[in-house]
Structure 1
Amino acid sequence: MMSSSPSPSPRGRTVALLVVVLCWLAVLFDGLDMFIYGSVLPHMLATKALGITPGQAGDLGSYATFGMLVGALAAGTVADRIGRKKLMVACVTLFSLASGLCALSGSVTVFGLGRTLAGLGLGGLLPTAISMVSDYAPGGRGALTIGVLMTAHHAGGILSAYVAQWLVEPAGWRSAFWVCVIPLLLVPVLIKALPESLSFLLAQGRTDQARALATRHGVDLPEPKDTTGSRGRSPVGAVPALFRGGAWLQTLLYWLASFGGLLLVYGVATWLPTLMRDEGYNLGSALTFVVLFNLGGIVGMLVAGRAADRFGAPRISAIWFALTAAGVFLLSVRMPLGVTFLVVFLTGVFLNSAQTMIYATVSIRSAPDIRATAVGWTSGMGRFGAVFGPWLGGQLLAADHGDWGFTAFALAGVASTVFIGLAALRTPRRTARDDTAREAVAAG
């Protein structure tokens, strides 16, 4: 690290806290907007809102995840042009206004457009927020800071369940999407209080400005990247390196594991309340499952990193997916309510961090010069699973096979267990844990 200050100063800790709090709030609303559709979906189907059918509901869930795919892939390029701060502001503005469009929609088509636009903003926000907090994290606290940030996404999922429970029955489903417009109030605060990314300033060659900003806030200046050998080359140009020699097989295995993992994550996130209601639970219990699932996600994010440090990310990823598959399959079995609550919580613990461990595995086992490309494309290929998962749940319900929903998602977990296990056997461990933690979470 280039250091503009030998140790974190009180000012440095203050600005780090400010950046984390602002980014945490933005990601909280990101999670709220992502999970709100799944939370209100049982009500929308029961009341035939907008004339929606189960098949259309699955399509609508996929629209948002497709938007996230495009937003995530475009985020790096856009941020390199306009800056991390401006992109964060744009993403929050976009998904907030898009939620307003959903609330005003009078047809499935307009609602679908709103969810797609929201997905663009949601997909671009998280990697940008991670970059911001990484820049201003105190020395030696980068992984912990990112872990804290990641809890906001699941806190948003918890909030979505309570919004649905408190507002939807008395005020209708549109009220939930109006709540998702509230993040617009955060935009002026971000513009006024959030500093620009130090990494962006360095990448733009504005080293003096970055050094001055780092000195003023008492933080370390990130290590500038040597781009002399790759200037002008797009990330796509590095992709062939992922297939040279015997690397093609492990690359495909990583991509397949990521596809299955995100199919599982977004399929369950979209359909959990509806499938649980289909299993005979009332709406209140179904939304409690959302709360427990996301509480498990918070715990899992904090536990998985420590477990991976001790036992290795590839092993933890495979074990986590196997346990996830078992938990998801058990949800198709009618159990006492307390046992079901426990299974949902534990499934959240394993599922929400298993995918992150795929990125950690790719980062650990990729050569340094192609690591960013390897992690980025593994994430990007996985996003196709995120599109497919909600659609699959909708098709099963439309065909009156909702009882097969959890089984289908469990099979995706089994497949990811096999793929990441096979891929992990092929290459040796290569890199440091700190780099792994930052890059793995940044892809998610």
Structure 2
Amino acid sequence: MDLSSQSVSPIPSGSEPNLPKKSLEGRTIPKVTFLVVAICWFAMFSEGYDLAIYGAVLPAILDDPAWKLSPAMAGSIASYALFGMLIGAVISGTITDIFGRKKVMALCITIFSISMIFAALAPTPQLFGIIRFIGGLALGGVIPTASALTIEYSPIKRRSLMYAIMYTGYAMGGVFSAFFSILFLADHSWRVMFWIGALPILAVPFILKFLPESLEFLVVKNRVADAERIANKYNISIENIKEAAKKEKKKAKSKTNNAVAELFSRQNIRPTIFFWITFFMGLFTIYGLTTWLPQMMRSAGYPLGSSIGFLLMLNFSAAVGAILAGVAADKWGSKKVIIISYLLAGISIALLSVKSSMLVVYGLVGVAGFGTIGTTLILNAYISKYFSTKIRGTAFGWALGFGRIGAILGPILAGLIISWNFNLTMNFYVFALAGTIAAIAVIFIPKGIHGEV
């Protein structure tokens, strides 16, 4: 319902109307930013666990005599969820620009949590794969909604940092999937790990109650009264948001109203193409490694516990590195940080093919985690800042959607290489090349219309 013509309701009890309202244009971080980032962090943590747990338990699934999976089939099953994410990212990225972020996020968490329950109960690998696909549809909607809310509620001078903090939830979800697997997998069925992944559904009522809707979305949709109500509650100013919305509307009068078509306008086509290439190569590397790293290291002669430990290191270094990269991106620009990080990732992944000490191997895996997962966190923030509010969700959703093609192919190709009995080093070289191509693609992204670099 359009509430733009209604009067603004009284300021809720507990607000401080006599204090000057905080603007999101500077560096000061209001309390509402921490609330939004915390909820979005939890959503990303849940997604990170859901996606990483398959790679963590894959060695156990391959050893399950009831399923008798081949590496090629296991790689295909890994891609079912990612194929669902491809569709889900495109759909949710578009509908969040129409219906808002809050309800879409809550719905996505509900669906993928329920899918984890059914995955734990799946009697056959075929049904398991179908369930993972359905869960993937919902998983694809979490990143665009969490990213948009975090960016829109963060001060402009702190966006890269706050986004990096939020997105560490994804990496920490991967850390916990590996940690729980190390603790429980030896003594319990791999199915227990999927039961744990269903717990986020318990947080949905909290999210619906406390997560505020996007102020920029409300203003753009002419629901100014709703936006003012939220701004008053959290004592923040939306004058700059309203001014920016007016400018966007003036620009839009002479342009198409189709957000997807606008991505391919003369102004946006070049960054759109190179963002898509970067997402493709980046996600190809991330999901190929997170799916197969434990099994690849196990095949190289490491015990199961140590092999899963490499997955833990991959995600932990991504979480820590993302925060450092966020600080660096705010200081020196996202583009430079992303290029350097992807190049370092490519080098470290290639060096994993050389037999070395455990300390060196853990160090290389750590650099790979920072340069792939950690760098993608900054890449997501970069594209969210790069495009205008009108097409932000659509641009992000479609870039992620195209990137999911790479995510789908990564686990499949790695599984095929193992099934074809190629030298184990081949997978490392393939992922190293993908990271290098991602770095080169970022070089060709032009300076944004809002000055993002």
Q: Matched residues in 2 for 1:374 and 1:284: separation? A: 40
* Residues 312-391 of structure 1 aligned to structure 2 (within 5 Å): 312-356=333-377, 377-391=398-412
Match for residue 412 of structure 1?
434
Given the superposition, is the C-alpha separation of residues 253 and 133 from structure 1 closer, same or farther in structure 2, using an over 3 Å criterion? closer
Match for residue 184 of structure 2?
167
SS at match of 1:16: helix
Q: Does the 8 Å CA contact 1:275/1:402 hold for their aligned counterparts?
A: no
* Structure 1 unaligned blocks of 5 or more: 437-444
Deviation string 1:262-292 (CA, Å, 9 cap, x unpaired) is 2111111111111111111111111111111
Q: CA deviation at 1:78?
A: 2.4
Select the residue among 275, 293, 299 that pairs with 2:320.
Answer: 299
Match for residue 107 of structure 1?
124
Q: Matched residues in 2 for 1:297 and 1:199: separation? A: 30
Q: CA deviation at 1:100?
A: 1.0
Given the superposition, is the C-alpha separation of residues 414 and 95 from structure 1 closer, same or farther in structure 2, using an over 3 Å criterion? same
Q: CA deviation at 1:377?
A: 4.2
Q: CA deviation at 1:355?
A: 3.6
Q: CA deviation at 1:178?
A: 0.5
Match for residue 26 of structure 1?
43
* Residues 144-183 of structure 1 aligned to structure 2 (within 5 Å): 144-183=161-200
Q: Does the 8 Å CA contact 1:300/1:352 hold for their aligned counterparts?
A: no
Q: CA deviation at 1:96?
A: 0.4
Match for residue 9 of structure 2?
none
Q: Does the 8 Å CA contact 1:272/1:290 hold for their aligned counterparts?
A: yes
Q: CA deviation at 1:39?
A: 0.6
Deviation string 1:309-331 (CA, Å, 9 cap, x unpaired) is 55554443333222111111122
Select the residue among 29, 50, 57 that pairs with 1:40.
Answer: 57
Q: Matched residues in 2 for 1:151 and 1:376: separation? A: 19
Normalising by structure 2, we get a TM-score of: 0.84
**Partner amino acid for 2:286?**
V
Q: CA deviation at 1:261?
A: 1.8
Percent of residue pairs bearing the same amino acid type? 34
Q: Please identify, of 75-84 and 340-349, the stretch whose mean Cα deviation from structure 2 is larger.
A: 75-84
**Partner amino acid for 1:340?**
V
Q: Does the 8 Å CA contact 2:154/2:162 hold for their aligned counterparts?
A: yes
Match for residue 259 of structure 2?
235
Q: CA deviation at 1:146?
A: 1.7
Q: Matched residues in 1 for 2:210 and 2:320: separation? A: 30
> Does structure 1 residue 270 correspond to structure 2 residue 291?
yes
Match for residue 441 of structure 1?
none
* Residues 88-107 of structure 1 aligned to structure 2 (within 5 Å): 88-107=105-124
Select the residue among 417, 435, 443 that pairs with 1:396.
Answer: 417
Deviation string 1:185-222 (CA, Å, 9 cap, x unpaired) is 11122123223332332233210121012102212326
Q: Does the 8 Å CA contact 1:137/1:145 hold for their aligned counterparts?
A: yes
Given the superposition, is the C-alpha separation of residues 253 and 196 from structure 1 closer, same or farther in structure 2, using an over 3 Å criterion? closer
Q: Matched residues in 2 for 1:137 and 1:369: separation? A: 18
Q: Matched residues in 1 for 2:218 and 2:390: separation? A: 22
Q: CA deviation at 1:295?
A: 1.6
Match for residue 431 of structure 1?
450
> Does structure 1 residue 129 correspond to structure 2 residue 146?
yes
> Does structure 1 residue 71 correspond to structure 2 residue 88?
yes
Q: CA deviation at 1:132?
A: 2.5
**Partner amino acid for 1:234?**
N
SS at match of 1:400: coil
Given the superposition, is the C-alpha separation of residues 206 and 311 from structure 1 closer, same or farther in structure 2, using an over 3 Å criterion? closer
Q: Matched residues in 2 for 1:233 and 1:119: separation? A: 29
* Structure 2 unaligned blocks of 5 or more: 1-16, 24-28
SS at match of 1:408: helix
**Partner amino acid for 1:349?**
F
Q: Please identify, of 41-50 and 157-166, the stretch whose mean Cα deviation from structure 2 is larger.
A: 41-50
Normalising by structure 1, we get a TM-score of: 0.85
Q: Matched residues in 2 for 1:366 and 1:316: separation? A: 19
From the two aligned structures, give the one with the greater helix fraction.
1
Given the superposition, is the C-alpha separation of residues 21 and 377 from structure 1 closer, same or farther in structure 2, using an over 3 Å criterion? closer
CA-based RMSD: 3.0
Given the superposition, is the C-alpha separation of residues 347 and 341 from structure 1 closer, same or farther in structure 2, using an over 3 Å criterion? same
Q: CA deviation at 1:254?
A: 4.2
**Partner amino acid for 1:419?**
A
